[in-house]
Structure formats: C-alpha cells, structure tokens
Amino acid sequence: MLLIDGEPVSTSPFSGSSRGVRLLGCWTKLLVGSGGRELVAALAGNPGLRAASERLRDAPERRISSGPEGEEAAAPRHVYVFQREFATVDPARVELVGTDEVTTCVGVVISNNKTGMTSISHMDFPKIVEGGLKQMLQLLGDDNAPFDVHLIGGFDDASTKVVHSSGRNHSKQEGYSYPLCCRILEVLHKSRQQFHLRTFCVLGSNTTTDSYGNTQPIISGFVVETSSGSVSPASFDMNSRCPDEVVRRIRVSVSSYDPHWQGRLLETYDTHNDAFQIAAACWMPNWAEIASSLDQLSDSEVLLQCSTSPAAEPPHFVENERRIWRYLIENPYWEDTFPKYKPRVFHRTTDGRWSHFPKRHVEYGLN
C-alpha cells in the first residue's frame, strides 16, 4: 500500500461503482478498474510530492567519475545499474547506488530506513514491473516498517494523434513513460507491504522542451547516498558505469528474446559479497548479421530506429549502440561470453575498481 506523508492512499467509502484515494485528508474519486491512471493523476497534484520534485530538480547534478584506467578510482564505492537491471546494496559496503540514461524509463528506489538497505532498478517495460518489484524486495528485510520509495525519470513523451474509427475522430495518447508509471503505482498500491512515496518526479513534473519544441526529461540520472537515503540528480562517466559495460548493454537488447528473463529484471549484483555477477543471457548467431546491418545506418537513422525518444537521447547514445554492434559482430556466439551459461563475476579491488574473476571459479549462481 502507498502512503503519502504517513497517510494511506486508501479505498474511499464511495458507494456504487466508484472508489477513491485519500490524500491529505481529501477523497479523490477513482473509477473501478482504472488503477494506475487515476493514481498518477491524483499523486501528480499532491502538494508535498510536487514540492519534493521541485527540490530535486533544483538540486545540483552530481557527476560520478572513476577516472581513467590505471589511475586510482576517484568515485566513492558505488554500484551502477543499467536499463532493466536492479541491485540491492548494503550501506556498510556501498556508499552510492544510482543510474542514468533514463529517458522513457523510470528509476525506482526502495529503501529500508531501519537497516539502510537500498534497492534500485531501471524499469523499462510494464510487463517486468510486478516480477521486478518482487526481486527488489527480497533482501530489504521482512519487518513491518514501511519502506521509502522514490520514483524518478520518465517524461511526457506521448504524442497526440487523431485516430479515425466508425466515422468518428478520437484523440489517442501514445507513449512509453505513462503506462510504465501507471503499472508501477498499481503494483505498489496493491502490495501488502507499505511504501512511503517520498519522490514522484516523473511525467509532467520531469518534463521540459528543447529549442525545437521537443519534450525531454529534466532529470535523466540520479544517485542515492546509502548512509542518509538522500537522492540527488547525477550523471556517470563511462568508467563509472563499470564493470562489463558493453556486455551488460547487450543483455538489455537480447534479454527480450531469452525466455529465462521474461517478466524479470536482469540480475547483476551480489549483495552479500559486494561483487558483480553478470547473469548470463543468450543470443542467436544471426544477431551478428543484424548488428552488421544496423552499423551501416547513419547516426540520425540509428536514433530514429533504435530509440524510444530520439530527441531526448544523450550525445553518446549512437556510439554506445555501435559499440554493442561491434561486440556482437566479433562475438556471434553467446557461449564465448557466458561459458556454460554461467555469470561473469567481478570483485572490487583495493583501489575501488573491478577485477574479472577467473572463469574456472565461476561455478555458483546469483543470490
């Protein structure tokens, strides 16, 4: 169940075919079966959440940099998650946890105030929300205290189109962020676990326009300080998105076709050992041919064909795509990357970087 300022967002006493949510002592009517849509509308108008979003937008962006290879890592001990990944971190081992490159996706943070354990995910599709939230909750503890939740990312990417049917015109909203936000709220609200919604910086509260009138997110990355639970806007350089950056990016693309990952977030980080275990994903050899074809596209064509929000992507988006394709061309067989479908394991070194564990020792699964 969702809580706002300690007060449940609860079913109203309305009779008949309606129900509602109670926010700051006022009932907001919801239609039966509408679920997340009306939750989004009601929460977007909540004064406390709007103020929290404004504070987050006004906060300076924190730049996370690990420095060039061969130099001591400059960034604090941190864990980074890519799209469709999640990680649960222990504040005794990890100082910061975060993500960026969030455009139409939504970043979800769930933390246990008593222990400081924090789980973060980079949600990208409604069908992974229910299973993904279950994964995030596994290591947060089972006490009855409410968990804090922050939802950050996604923007008003919907475009209004006129649809003709039965001789009538209808306005149809199309987009990626909105249905994802609806599903996240719906699943959280139906849960027996209580969640204090602390930040709701999504959709309209996270939207701006560029000089051409294209909508784009205001905040596309953030970091959580595990000792305090505070959240700040953030961006990460390439070295701080380690380890195994390209392989992890590939998993996002190929996992949609791997039955093992249907309805689930990608397992990435071993909480108890402060180690990355990049769970295996497989791809067909013809991905190399597909990658070779895509690599022939111009930069503008790459944006249009490979992004859900071409006008909102960061400058390095196209180069990241090309690095993925080059890897697939050079490594057409997934068994070369994940022998025996075992995870790729990385341990943190004394200088804060990551070292690939020898393959012969990788005989255990993820927690």
Helix (H, G, I), strand (E, B) or coil at 111: strand
* H-only helix segments in 87-220: 129-137, 177-190
Q: What are phi and psi of 226, to 5 degrees?
A: -70, -30
**Tens of pLDDT along 324-361?**
999 999 999 999 999 999 999 999 998 888 999 764 44
Is the pLDDT reported for residue 30 higher than 50? Answer: no
Cβ neighbours of residue 192 closer than 8 Å, sequence gap 6 or more: 1
Of the pLDDT bands very low, low, confident and very high (cuts 50, 70, 90), residue 35 is confident
d(C-alpha 220, C-alpha 217), whole Å: 6
Under a CB-based contact definition with an 8 Å cutoff, are residues 277 and 345 in contact? yes
287's enclosing H/E stretch is helix 286-294
d(C-alpha 209, C-alpha 315), whole Å: 17
Would you say the pTM of this structure is higher than 0.85? yes
d(C-alpha 297, C-alpha 364), whole Å: 40
Domain ranges of the chain: 2-241
- Lowest mean pLDDT across 43-47, 69-73, 122-126, 160-164: 160-164
d(C-alpha 367, C-alpha 28), whole Å: 42
pLDDT of residue 71: 55
Q: What is the mean pLDDT of residues 89-98?
A: 97
Q: What is the mean pLDDT of residues 65-94?
A: 84
pLDDT of residue 312: 94
Is the pLDDT reported for residue 170 higher than 60? Answer: no
**Tens of pLDDT along 10-22?**
544 443 333 444 4
Per DSSP, the residues of 303-343 read HHHH-S-GGG--TTHHHHHHHHHHHHHH---HHHHSGGGPP
- Lowest mean pLDDT across 69-73, 107-111, 126-130, 131-135: 69-73
Average pLDDT, the chain: 86
**Class of the CATH-defined domain 2-241:** alpha beta
Cβ neighbours of residue 123 closer than 8 Å, sequence gap 6 or more: 84, 105, 106, 107, 108, 129, 132, 180, 184, 265
pLDDT of residue 358: 61
pLDDT of residue 352: 81
**Tens of pLDDT along 235-275?**
999 999 999 999 999 999 899 888 889 999 999 999 999 99
**Tens of pLDDT along 195-236?**
999 999 999 999 999 998 999 999 999 999 999 999 999 999
pLDDT of residue 67: 66
Residue of 64, 61, 82, 60 whose CA lies nearest to 73: 64
What DSSP state is assigned to residue 146? P
